[in-house]
């Protein structure tokens, strides 16, 4: 990504602009914003794409290159530059953010703290949760109650480990990333009041497989990854 920014900054500035669009802008607001900034011919899907991402988007637009970048972390403010200007995005990508990662499936979890792209603390564990009972009757109801209790006990234990690993860094944490099935994450958030204090620092979640130490070690690359969409003249 930094190599891409190097290439962007070498492009001719004539007739080009860079627009940093923070999250929360609607499609109509983005179209109005780009028209005011001099982008008069907007592809049909550009404003929809820019409004659909949770971290905002950066538009590099000119005769030489036209592209939209989805950064790994939220943009703070709307800025427009004349020319291809990548400095704010470069500053983001070279910052040593403190990131808390919480990965959870029913029956397994992983908690990690990163400084930049370095894993500095982690905990991986498992818990017993029986599968769903497929027979009917009272035995199914007893089994379901036992399974629900197992889920609650497991999530409470995960919450304890999350607090042990994150509380010491809570004042320093810049972002929190969750990974795993959405419903399981919501259950964990509901049963773990400590996570509510970090709610404003949450960025988009990851889809992760079954959890092992290697998942923690490789997830950081996905956290820091950006997406680039190019438009070319037909």
pLDDT digits (tens, 9 = 90+) for 33-87: 888 888 878 888 899 999 999 999 999 999 899 999 999 999 999 999 999 999 9
Whether residue 130 sits in one domain with residue 59: no
The per-residue pLDDT for range 91-126, each reduced to its tens digit, is 999 999 999 999 999 889 999 999 999 999 888 888
Whether residue 200 sits in one domain with residue 108: yes
Whether residue 131 sits in one domain with residue 69: no
d(CA 32, CA 47): 10
Helix (H) or strand (E) holding 63: none
pTM, to two decimals? 0.85
Torsion of CA 124, 98, 207, 144, to 10 degrees: 50
Dmax (CA) of the chain:
75
> Is a pLDDT exceeding 70 seen at residue 156?
yes
Identify whether 129 is part of a domain: yes
From residue 184, how far is each of 2, 47, 65, 83, 110 by CA, in Å?
A: 35, 32, 42, 45, 13
The token pair that represents 100 in the structure block? 């808390």
Whether residue 194 sits in one domain with residue 108: yes
Whether residue 128 sits in one domain with residue 55: no
Whether residue 61 sits in one domain with residue 136: no
Q: Is 178 exposed, middle or buried (0-12, 13-18, 19+ CB in 10 A)?
A: buried
d(CA 60, CA 5): 11
b/e map of 34-65 (b: 16 or more CB within 10 Å)? beebebeebeeebbebbbebebbbbbbbbeeb
Whether residue 82 sits in one domain with residue 33: yes
Tokens 């419903």: give the residue: 183
> Is a pLDDT exceeding 60 seen at residue 136?
no
As beta bridge partners, residue 100 has 113, 176
Select from 75, 94, 113 the last residue of a domain: 94
b/e map of 73-108 (b: 16 or more CB within 10 Å)? bbbeeeebbebbbbebbbebbeeebbbbbbbbbbbb
Whether residue 108 sits in one domain with residue 75: no
Domain containing residue 68: 2-94
The token pair that represents 27 in the structure block? 């499609």
Select from 78, 94, 110 the last residue of a domain: 94
Q: Which residues, in sequence order, are CB contacts of 91 under 8 Å at separation 6+?
A: none
């Amino acid at each position: 990504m930094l190599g891409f920014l190097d290439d962007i900054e070498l492009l001719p500035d004539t007739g080009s602009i860079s627009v940093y669009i923070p999250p929360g802008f609607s499609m109509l607001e983005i179209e109005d914003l780009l028209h005011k900034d001099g982008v008069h011919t907007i592809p049909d899907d550009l404003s929809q794409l820019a409004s659909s991402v949770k971290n905002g988007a950066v538009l590099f637009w000119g005769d030489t290159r036209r592209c939209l970048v989805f950064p790994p972390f939220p943009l703070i403010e709307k800025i427009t530059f004349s020319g291809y200007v990548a400095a704010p995005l470069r500053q983001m990508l070279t910052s040593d953010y403190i990131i808390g990662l919480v990965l959870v499936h029913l029956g397994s979890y992983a908690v990690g703290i990163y400084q930049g792209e370095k894993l500095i603390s982690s905990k991986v564990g498992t818990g017993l949760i029986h599968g769903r009972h497929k027979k009917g009757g009272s035995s199914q109801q007893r089994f379901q109650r036992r399974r629900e209790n197992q889920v609650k006990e497991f999530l409470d234990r995960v919450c304890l480990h999350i607090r042990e690993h994150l509380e010491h860094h809570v004042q320093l944490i810049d972002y929190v990333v969750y990974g795993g099935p959405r419903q399981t994450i919501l259950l964990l958030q509901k049963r773990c009041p400590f996570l509510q204090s970090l709610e404003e620092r949450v960025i988009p979640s990851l889809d992760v497989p079954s959890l092992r130490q290697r998942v923690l070690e490789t997830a950081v690359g996905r956290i820091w990854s950006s997406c680039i969409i190019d438009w070319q003249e037909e």
